[in-house]
Amino acid sequence: MRISDVLRGKGDLVVTIGPEEDVRTLLDRLAENRIGAIVVAGEDGGIAGIVSERDVVRGMQREGAALLDRQVGSIMTADVHTCAPEASIEDLMVEMTEHRFRHVPVVADGRMCGIVSIGDVVKYRIEELQSERDHLTAYITG
Ligand code: AMP
């Protein structure tokens, strides 16, 4: 199964935020959209970074409530790991585990065309394993 199969099921919506917006706005957007990470959009419409709830937790531990007025650009990760729609779900699971992140934007022809989370990947992997099990059961008992 490919990442494009995941996007066909969940759609291509990617919630973004500007690097100059504050952390308070970031929290609103995470809560409103019920998500754990947001892509930070650059002026050119490209990816300037990614910021997740984990960055907010670390920042709050460091500087307390003062973090809420800080710009998103100051806590984001600028070196963003992306994948292509042709990437396999298994390979992405390995990368997410090795690098310890749970969100990966999908990029095709230099344009962002979706985002996958560890939850999406696990959901599709479970479906894949169930289908394999059903085929094997049918083969053995059929
Ligand atoms: P997450 O597990 O996705 O909540 O993120 C954990 C940490 O990795 C945070 O510091 C994020 O900013 C960072 N991060 C999340 N996704 C990516 C990604 N695709 N590429 C690089 N860093 C990321």
- Taking only the tens of pLDDT, the chain with its 142 residues reads 899 999 999 999 999 999 999 999 999 999 999 999 999 999 888 999 999 999 999 999 999 999 999 999 999 999 999 999 999 999 999 999 999 999 999 999 999 999 999 999 999 889 889 999 999 999 999 8
CA 105 / ligand 1 centre spacing (Å): 10
* In the chain, where the domains are located: 3-141
Contact 14, 40 (CB under 8 A): no
CATH code of the domain occupying 3-141: 3.10.580.10
CB of 51 closer than 6 A to ligand 1? yes
The structure's pTM equals 0.91
Q: Which helix (H) or strand (E) holds 125?
A: helix 118-141
Ligand 1 atom closest to 52 (CA):
4
Structure tokens at 10: 């969940």
CA–CA distance, 36 with 47 (Å, rounded to integer): 17
CB of 77 closer than 6 A to ligand 1? yes
Contact 60, 67 (CB under 8 A): yes
CA 100 / ligand 1 centre spacing (Å): 7
Helix, strand, coil distribution of the chain in percent, nearest 5: 50, 25, 25
CB of 102 closer than 6 A to ligand 1? yes
pLDDT digits (tens, 9 = 90+) for 73-90: 999 999 999 999 999 999
